[in-house]
Amino acid sequence: MSIPYSLALRMVRPGKPEQGNKTYPVAQVRQVMNLSDMAKHMSNHSSKYDKGDVMAVATQLTSCIREQLLLGNKVVLGDLGAFYVSLKSESANNAEEFSTSLIKKVKVRWEPSCEFEDLLNEVTFEYVGTRKAQADARKAEKEALNNAATIKPGEGADDEGGDGNLE
C-alpha cells in the first residue's frame, strides 16, 4: 500500500516570514470513498453481510454516535477509536462574564485507537506531483492524443503501420 504525495513550499511559522520557507510533503487523495463505496468494499471482504446490511448498520451507527455526542458522551468503538466533542469559543475575563453565547463551534474529534497510531511502519510513499501538475499533464496528454488522431495514415513521420501504441 502506498500513500500518494506531492511537495509544497510553506512558511516555517505562519505569521513569521523572517523564518523563511521550507518544503513539506502533502498527502494527495487517490479516490474519495463514500459510505456506499465502503459498504460495497466491506461486503467484498468475505463478509456474510451484503452492501445493504453494511450501509444500514453504518447509517444507524452514525445517527447514534451523533445523538450520544449531543448528550455530552464520548463514544468508544474498539479498534475504530473514540469520538468526542470539543468547543471553540471566545474568552471571558472571568467565570461571571462567561455565557454560552461565547461558544462559536462544536467540533467532533476522533481519537484513534492503537490500530491507527503507527501507520508509518506499514506504508510506502509514491510521489505524484501536485494536483495542478497532474491536471497539466492530463491536459497535455489529451492534446497529444487529439493531435495524433488528426494525422491520417501515411502522413506521420513515425507511421510504420504499427500496433497503434503512442509510445
Per-residue pLDDT reduced to its tens digit, 76-115? 999 999 999 999 999 999 999 999 999 999 999 999 999 9
**What angle in degrees, to the nearest 10, is found between the helix axes of 35-43 and 51-70?**
130
Backbone conformation region of residue 161, classed left if phi is above 0, alpha if psi is from -120 to 50, else beta: left
How far apart CA 41 and CA 54 sit, in angstroms, is: 10
Q: What share of the chain is helix, strand, coil (3-state, %, to 5)?
A: 40, 25, 35
The alpha carbon torsion through 115, 127, 40, 118 (nearest 10 deg) reads 0
How far apart CA 138 and CA 118 sit, in angstroms, is: 34
> How confident is the model at residue 40, as a pLDDT?
92
What pTM was estimated for this model as a whole? Answer: 0.66
Q: For the chain, what are the domain ranges?
A: 1-30+122-142
> How confident is the model at residue 158, as a pLDDT?
54
Phi then psi for residue 135, to 5 deg, are: -65, -40
Using an 8 Å Cβ cutoff, are 82 and 74 in contact? Answer: yes
How far apart CA 142 and CA 149 sit, in angstroms, is: 10
User: Is 157 or 43 the better-scoring residue by pLDDT?
Assistant: 43
How far apart CA 144 and CA 150 sit, in angstroms, is: 10
User: Is 8 or 63 the better-scoring residue by pLDDT?
Assistant: 63
How far apart CA 76 and CA 82 sit, in angstroms, is: 4
> How confident is the model at residue 154, as a pLDDT?
67
